[in-house]
């Protein structure tokens, strides 16, 4: 079966569309879509028919319609921002777009209109701290988290109201790691209230339990809540941190993206410096991680992703302008190289359709 792959090629102001064969992992360039600034984060609408792109150099967000058959992109609207966004995601209803801003140190919420385009002017802006790197709502659409690398070395914890798109900071505040780990990105276990964070500065991965609590509990904005910190809804509790590096590696390294396979058997984190994908297996019962080794890949693997079958992982080499493609062993999680393809200067996002 043939599907598609979108790549942000930031150094050439284009989004590259590739056909993707889910039987063997082969890809072929279908076309390039020129954009008005360097594309970075990409995300789809929940319905799957629209693509949103953060254009970092021009400080914009673009909305595209995805053709049902060809997966070609038609630009519908571009809105201006006052800073460049490093991550964007819709909430689970598809009515709001949440954005994190690394340099500006903030998060915003934009409304998504009936025409599925991102609307001009944020309906909410919250100043956080420098190095806000990621934001997304959980599976319940009630909570959102914003990791900050060093400095601020914190995970901001928010409640999200899907009726109006408003974020409210958790009454009990942020999670602050004891060590300068620098949480950067995260992914949610599809079947358990567990979150996994890649730690940019600590070259590690951390696992957290999420306390979801009673959905009918009123979230206080001031005063004393009617629950303790130990059962407060929307708080993360760390239970494991593991290195993403081999024991004998002593050179500089930072982690970037993190992804979980759709069957929740394996977790992957990219290492920039060691230039590898760290591989972890996930305990089916408690979600604990076990290191399964490393796959050498292209220089500076900032971005990568896993296709929806869980059979393939594609990693972009920011330092080489190449895309490395791998097949995932469904029993061990180990990666087997399929191909290395020239894709262009500074690949900044990998999105399977």
**Tens digits of residue pLDDT in 134-143:** 999 999 999 9
Binned at pLDDT 50, 70 and 90, residue 4 comes out as very high
Domain assignments of the chain as residue spans, ordered by start:
35-127
Binned at pLDDT 50, 70 and 90, residue 323 comes out as very high
State the pLDDT at residue 217.
Answer: 60
pTM (predicted TM-score): 0.95
* Cα 144 to Cα 6, 183, 267, distances in angstroms: 26, 14, 21
Binned at pLDDT 50, 70 and 90, residue 221 comes out as low
Binned at pLDDT 50, 70 and 90, residue 219 comes out as low
Q: How far apart are CA 196 and CA 185, in angstroms?
A: 8
Binned at pLDDT 50, 70 and 90, residue 232 comes out as confident
CATH architecture entry for 35-127: Beta Barrel (2.40)
State the pLDDT at residue 212.
Answer: 83
Instruction: Give the chain's mean pLDDT.
Output: 95
**Tens digits of residue pLDDT in 250-291:** 999 999 999 999 999 999 999 999 999 999 999 999 999 999
């Amino acid at each position: 079966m043939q599907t598609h792959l979108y790549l942000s090629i930031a150094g050439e102001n284009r989004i590259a569309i590739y056909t993707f064969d889910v039987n063997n992992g082969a890809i072929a360039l279908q076309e390039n879509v020129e954009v008005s600034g360097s594309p970075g984060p990409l995300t789809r609408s929940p319905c799957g028919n629209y693509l949103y792109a953060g254009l970092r150099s021009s400080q914009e967000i673009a909305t595209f319609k995805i053709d049902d058959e060809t997966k070609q992109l038609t630009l519908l609207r571009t809105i201006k921002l006052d800073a460049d966004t490093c991550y964007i995601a819709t909430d689970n209803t598809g009515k709001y777009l949440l954005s994190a801003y690394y340099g500006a140190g903030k998060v915003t919420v934009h409304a998504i209109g009936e025409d599925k385009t991102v609307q001009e002017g944020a309906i909410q802006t919250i100043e956080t701290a420098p190095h806000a790197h990621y934001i997304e709502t959980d599976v319940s659409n009630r909570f959102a988290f914003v990791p900050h690398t060093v400095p601020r070395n914190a995970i901001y914890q928010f409640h999200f109201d899907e009726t109006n798109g408003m974020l409210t900071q958790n009454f009990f505040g942020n999670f602050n790691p004891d060590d300068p780990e620098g949480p950067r990105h995260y992914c949610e276990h599809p079947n358990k209230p567990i979150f996994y964070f890649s730690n940019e500065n600590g070259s590690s991965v951390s696992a957290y339990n999420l306390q979801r609590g009673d959905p009918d509990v009123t979230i206080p904005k001031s005063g004393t809540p009617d629950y303790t910190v130990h059962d407060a809804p929307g708080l993360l509790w760390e239970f494991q941190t593991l290195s993403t590096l081999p024991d004998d590696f002593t050179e500089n390294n930072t982690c970037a993206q993190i992804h979980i396979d759709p069957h929740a058997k394996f977790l992957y984190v990219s290492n920039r410096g060691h230039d590898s994908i760290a591989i972890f297996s996930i305990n089916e019962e408690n979600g604990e991680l076990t290191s399964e080794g490393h796959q050498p890949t292209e220089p500076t693997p900032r971005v990568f992703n896993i296709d929806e079958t869980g059979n393939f992982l594609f990693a972009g080499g920011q330092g080489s302008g190449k895309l490395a493609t791998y097949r995932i062993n469904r029993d061990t999680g180990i990666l087997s190289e399929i191909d290395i393809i020239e894709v262009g200067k500074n690949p900044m996002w990998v999105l399977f359709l």
